[in-house]
Amino acid sequence: MTYRLLADSVLVLHLLFIGFVIFGGLIAHRFAWVASIHIPAVCWGIFIELTGKLCPLTTLEVGLRRAAGDAGYSDSFIEHYLLPIIYPTGLTRSIQFWLAGFVILINVAIYGWFLYRLWGSRSNASSQDAPFK
């Protein structure tokens, strides 16, 4: 039971990590220090998708499930709803490339918007400080 609970916890953590990779830039917009964690996470996610390697969280989860005596995935609530999101049926290398492209596109848009607003606010502040001629 403990291994199964740990495996389910890793699965939830994995889903949260994926969500952070995709949308963490929105958090970084509010808290700039988050970008120092988010950008490496995005790079890791893209690396995993493009190379087809297994994420260590996947390896850990599978190991915990085996330790719990599961031959594969049983049908708990968490597994039923989260597994199809993290490990979709029919996932191919081509789909993984599209997913990596999606992650890149979303994050370039979020950080581009963030930088545009940052530079826009700086230029407005500097124009307000300029003396009238």
Per-residue pLDDT band for 46 (boundaries 50, 70, 90) equals very high
For residues 46 and 101, the answer to whether their CB atoms sit within 8 Å is no
For range 8-35, the mean pLDDT:
92
SS3 string of the chain? Answer: CHHHHHHHHHHHHHHHHHHHHHHHHHHHHHCHHHHHHHHHHHHHHHHHHHHCCCCHHHHHHHHHHHHCCCCCCCCCHHHHHHHHHHCCCCCCHHHHHHHHHHHHHHHHHHHHHHHHHHHHHHHHHHHHHCCCC
- The predicted-structure confidence for 50-75, as pLDDT tens digits, reads as follows 988 888 998 898 899 889 887 555 55
31 Rama sector, left if φ>0, alpha if ψ -120 to 50, beta otherwise: beta
- The predicted-structure confidence for 94-109, as pLDDT tens digits, reads as follows 988 998 999 999 999 9
Identify the pLDDT of residue 133: 47
Domain that holds residue 79: 2-129
pLDDT at 130 over 60: no
Angle at 110 between CA 104 and CA 113, to 5 degrees: 130
For residues 46 and 104, the answer to whether their CB atoms sit within 8 Å is yes
Query: How many domains does the chain fold into?
Result: 1
State both tokens at 133: 């001629």
State both tokens at 21: 């990779």
Q: Return the higher-pLDDT residue of 103 and 119.
A: 103
For range 77-87, the mean pLDDT:
68
For residues 25 and 114, the answer to whether their CB atoms sit within 8 Å is yes
